[in-house]
C-alpha cells in the first residue's frame, strides 16, 4: 500500500478535496429544503442521496464507501462498497450520511446535517454488521483523563477538574432514548446538567469536542456508523473518542465476530475507529444547530453554512455560500 504520510503524496486527502466535498454536502442540504418540516423523511433523504451521488461523481478522487446509507438492493441509497468519484487521484475510504437526522428534518427540528468524511484507503473501521455503539466523546481536555470503562459520575468529575470548572457547570449530551434513562439519572446525580438530543449524535459529539462549546461531553449508545464519522472529525479537533460495540442479538454479535469485530468489553480507541491521521470531515447544515446554521431560502437566493475539518492541519473552517435559486429549482 502506498504510504500517505508524506505531505506531497499524490494520494493524500488534501485541502482541494475538502473544498470539493463541500459542494456535495451543500447539494444534499439544498435538495432537502422542500421537505423540511413536512413530515416526509424518506423523501428528504432520497432527494439528498441523489444530489450527493451526482456531485460526488464530479470529484477527482477514488473513493470507496465504507459507511453508507444502505445496501445495494435498496437503491437509490449510497451503499457500502460503492465507488464514488472520478476514479482518479486520491484513494480514500468514505463515510456518507446525506442527512444525519432525517426525523429532525421532517419535523423541522435543529441539528440535522449533511455529512461526508474521508480517510486514507483501508483505515476506517467497517462496523456495518453491528448497528449500535456506546460512545464517549470530549474535547482535548479529556485525552488521557476520561475512560468509557469508568462510571459516568467519575468521568464527569475528572473532566471538570481538567477543565477547571465546577461539576455543576458541566453539561453532557445524550440521545433521549429509553435505554438511557439510568445514564441520564446518573449524570444528574453527579451534579451535571444534560442536553437531551432527539437525534443527530454526530453533531452532539462534535459540539462536545469543540473549543468553547456549550457541552462538555457526549455519551451513550448511538449508531456505529455515526461513531466512525465522528471519529474523523474528532481527530481534526484533537479531542477524545472511545467506543464499544453494542449488539442487540446473539446473531448480530456473531455477524460482527465473523467480520473481525471485537466484543467482550473491548474499547475501540480513536486510532482503531479510524487508523489514519489524514482525515477530512465536511458538514453542511440542513436545519439550524450549534455547529452550523441550516440551509435557508430567501427570494432568489439559497444560503448554506458548512464546516470543513482537516486532521492534517488541525483546522476547522467555515464556508458560507450563496446559491441562485434558479440554478437549483428553476
> Residue 279: CA atoms inside 13 Å, Cβ hemisphere, count?
30
Give the chain's end-to-end CA distance (angstroms, integer): 46
Per the annotation, where are the binding residues for Mn(2+)? 45, 69, 97, 100, 226
CA-closest candidate to residue 80, choices 61, 100, 98, 94: 94
Phi, psi (5° rounding) for residue 172?
-120, 130
Cα angle value 268/289/77 (rounded, 5°): 60
Per the annotation, where are the binding residues for substrate? 100-102, 132, 177-179, 199-201, 223
> What is d(CA 297, CA 222) in angstroms, rounded to the nearest whole number?
32
Phi, psi (5° rounding) for residue 242?
-135, 155
Per the annotation, where are the binding residues? 45, 69, 97, 100-102, 132, 177-179, 199-201, 223, 226
> Residue 188: CA atoms inside 13 Å, Cβ hemisphere, count?
10
Check whether the bond before 238 is cis (ω within 30° of 0).
no
Detail the DSSP E strand segments found in the chain.
Answer: 61-67, 83-84, 90-100, 113-120, 132-138, 171-175, 193-197, 217-223, 240-245, 268-269, 280-285, 296-298, 301-310, 315-324
Q: How many residues does the chain have?
A: 330
Which spans in 166-305 are helix H? Answer: 181-189, 201-209, 224-237, 250-258, 270-273
Amino acid at each position: 500500500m502506498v504510504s500517505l504520510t508524506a505531505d506531497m503524496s499524490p494520494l493524500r486527502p488534501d485541502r482541494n478535496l475538502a473544498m470539493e466535498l463541500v459542494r456535495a454536502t451543500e447539494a444534499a442540504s439544498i435538495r432537502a429544503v422542500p421537505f423540511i418540516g413536512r413530515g416526509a423523511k424518506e423523501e428528504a433523504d432520497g432527494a439528498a442521496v441523489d444530489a450527493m451521488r451526482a456531485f460526488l461523481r464530479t470529484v477527482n478522487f477514488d473513493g470507496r464507501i465504507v459507511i453508507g446509507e444502505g445496501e445495494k438492493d435498496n437503491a437509490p441509497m449510497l451503499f457500502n462498497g460503492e465507488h464514488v468519484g472520478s476514479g482518479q487521484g486520491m484513494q480514500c475510504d468514505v463515510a456518507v450520511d446525506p442527512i444525519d437526522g432525517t426525523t429532525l428534518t421532517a419535523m423541522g427540528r435543529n441539528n440535522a446535517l449533511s455529512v461526508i468524511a474521508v480517510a486514507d484507503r483501508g483505515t476506517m473501521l467497517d462496523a456495518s454488521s453491528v448497528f449500535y455503539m456506546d460512545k464517549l466523546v470530549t474535547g482535548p481536555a479529556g485525552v488521557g483523563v476520561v475512560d468509557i470503562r469508568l462510571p459516568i459520575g467519575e468521568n464527569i468529575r475528572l473532566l471538570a477538574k481538567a477543565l477547571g470548572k465546577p461539576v455543576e457547570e458541566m453539561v453532557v449530551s445524550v440521545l433521549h432514548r429509553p435505554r438511557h434513562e439510568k445514564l441520564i439519572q446518573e449524570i444528574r446525580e453527579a451534579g451535571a446538567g444534560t442536553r437531551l438530543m432527539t437525534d443527530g449524535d454526530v453533531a452532539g459529539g462534535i459540539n462536545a469536542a469543540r473549543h468553547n462549546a456549550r457541552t462538555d461531553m457526549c455519551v451513550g449508545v448511538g449508531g456505529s456508523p455515526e461513531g466512525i464519522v465522528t471519529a474523523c472529525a474528532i481527530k481534526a479537533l484533537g479531542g477524545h473518542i472511545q467506543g464499544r460495540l453494542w449488539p442487540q442479538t446473539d446473531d448480530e454479535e456473531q455477524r460482527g465476530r465473523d467480520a473481525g469485530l471485537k466484543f467482550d468489553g473491548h474499547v475501540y480507541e480513536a486510532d482503531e475507529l479510524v487508523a489514519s491521521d489524514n482525515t477530512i470531515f465536511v458538514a453542511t447544515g440542513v436545519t439550524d444547530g450549534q455547529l452550523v446554521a441550516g440551509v435557508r431560502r430567501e427570494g432568489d437566493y439559497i444560503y448554506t453554512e458548512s464546516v470543513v475539518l482537516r486532521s492534517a492541519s488541525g483546522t476547522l473552517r467555515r464556508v458560507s455560500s450563496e446559491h441562485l435559486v434558479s440554478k437549483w429549482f428553476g
